[in-house]
Structure formats: structure tokens, C-alpha cells
Amino acid sequence: MAAMLSIDNLHVSVGGKEILKGLTLAVQAGEVHAIMGPNGSGKSTLAHVLAGRPGYQISAGTVRYQGRDLLALPPEERAREGVFLGFQYPVEIPGVNNVYLLKAALNAQRKQRGLPEVDAFEFLGLVREKMKLMHIEDSFLSRGVNEGFSGGEKKRNEILQMVILEPRLAILDETDSGLDIDALKLVAAGVNTQRSPERSCVLVTHYQRLLEYVVPDFVHVLVRGRIAKSGDRGLALELERRGYDWVTGEAA
């Protein structure tokens, strides 16, 4: 069976500057991988390239998702095929209702799988159930997407979307940044409900704090556009103790 995600020798530039310089990574179904690294190492670039954000030049390498060429798919196809990006900076869209977006997103995915549109009543039940899980207030239902949300609310909303869409591959880009401990635990709980043998998750994070609550199967350290070190959860703890200099020095 093909890997969930298989990245091979990926080179990516932004505005002529190479950010990812031969990144290789394989994620199997059921696995949670944490990608750590200092600022500017290319973590967010990786997350964006996987989701299909425009503005990145891919000069070499391949990315396969369940055996398919992921880079050949437009962003909306990737989403429909089960790739989900949790944004580091979720976008505010005043005037577009949260529930409408959730429903449109879920129906887009169902259409791809040949399923009928979700029943409006059942859908609302599902949303309310998941909102409870994420401690999101009822007023959310009538508000615009992320409109006037605090940083923590925006991140919880990303996770809410994820648990409703149930992606096969979730890529969470610094979802833990700027969260207090209570919000962090909620986000972690949301992520943990998604763990299953069919689903994979890539956590992009700067700190190991989140990994206390979502225990990863693998930890990778990204340095200057390449994976400099891989290991298990112990690697994250060691990083916490010794700092990134320990790895960046080694990689230099």
C-alpha cells in the first residue's frame, strides 16, 4: 500500500530564494509526525506547499499523496481528497458565515466521494457536538468566519473544521502558537480524536509543548530547508533541553 505522504528531494523557492533544499519525508497511514525547527527553517513553506498555496516555485522533487502526484492537484482538489491545512494565521472572512463554510467544505468532499449532500438537520447536530468538544460558544454559529475571533478562538476553529471534515492527512501549521494552556489542551484533544489507523497528521511546531499532549510517532528537525535529524518523542525533549543550536550546529 502506498504511503499516506511521500516527499522526495523537494526543492522550493519563494521569489528566487530557495527555502526547501532537498527535503525527504515519508508518513504512513496512522502516524503522527512532528516537524520542528528554528524560525525560517522552512516549516511553514512546507505546510503551504502541501496545501497548494500559490507563490511557491517547485524546482525539483516529488510529493505523492496515497500514491498520487499531489503537486499536480489544485488546492481545492487536495482538500476534497482529504488533505487539510490548519492555518498558522486563520483568515477572517466577514460576511461568510462559519456554518455555511463548514457545510460547503463538507459537501465538496462528499461530492468527490459520490455521496449525497449532508442533511441540514444532521449537519447542525454534528457541528454542535463538535463545538462542545472544542468548547466553542453557540454564538459561533451566526458569526462570520473567524470574524472578531481571538487568536485562541481562531485556532480552535481550525481544529473544529478538522474534526468535522475528518481529513486523511491533516497538516497543522503552528496551531499551538499563541495558545494558553487550556486552549492548547483543547486543541490537543481535538487532534487526538482524529488519531486512527487510516489517518495521518503532520504537526508543524516550534515548541515541544504541544507534543506533551499529542504524542508523535516521529519527530523531525528541519534546518535550513532539510531534515537534519529524525527520532522519536525523545528527540523533542532533547531539543527542549539543549536548544536548536545543538542540531543547527551539527547540521552546519
C-alpha distances in angstroms, 221 versus 99, 101, 183, 247? Answer: 37, 34, 25, 8
CB of 217 to other proteins, least distance (A): 25
CB of 124 to other proteins, least distance (A): 13
The residues binding other proteins (CB under 8 A) are: 51-54, 74-76, 78-80, 84-85, 87, 90-91, 93-97, 100-101, 103-105, 108-109, 112, 144-145, 161, 165
Strand partners, 229: 221
CB of 76 to other proteins, least distance (A): 5
78/130 with CB nearer other proteins = 78
168/229 with CB nearer other proteins = 168
106/227 with CB nearer other proteins = 106
Q: How far apart, in whole angstroms, are the C-alpha atoms of residue 50 and residue 65? A: 10
65/87 with CB nearer other proteins = 87
53/128 with CB nearer other proteins = 53
Task: Give the gyration radius of the chain's Cα atoms.
Answer: 18
**β strands within the chain, DSSP E:** 5-14, 17-27, 32-36, 57-65, 68-69, 83-86, 93-97, 144-145, 169-173, 200-205, 218-223, 226-231
Strand partners, 17: 14
111/242 with CB nearer other proteins = 111
CB of 137 to other proteins, least distance (A): 21
CB of 139 to other proteins, least distance (A): 16
CA-nearest of 105, 135, 129 to 117 is 105
CB of 195 to other proteins, least distance (A): 22
List own/partner pairs for 226-231 with CB under 8 A and 24 or more apart: 226/20, 226/21, 226/22, 226/23, 226/251, 227/23, 227/24, 227/25
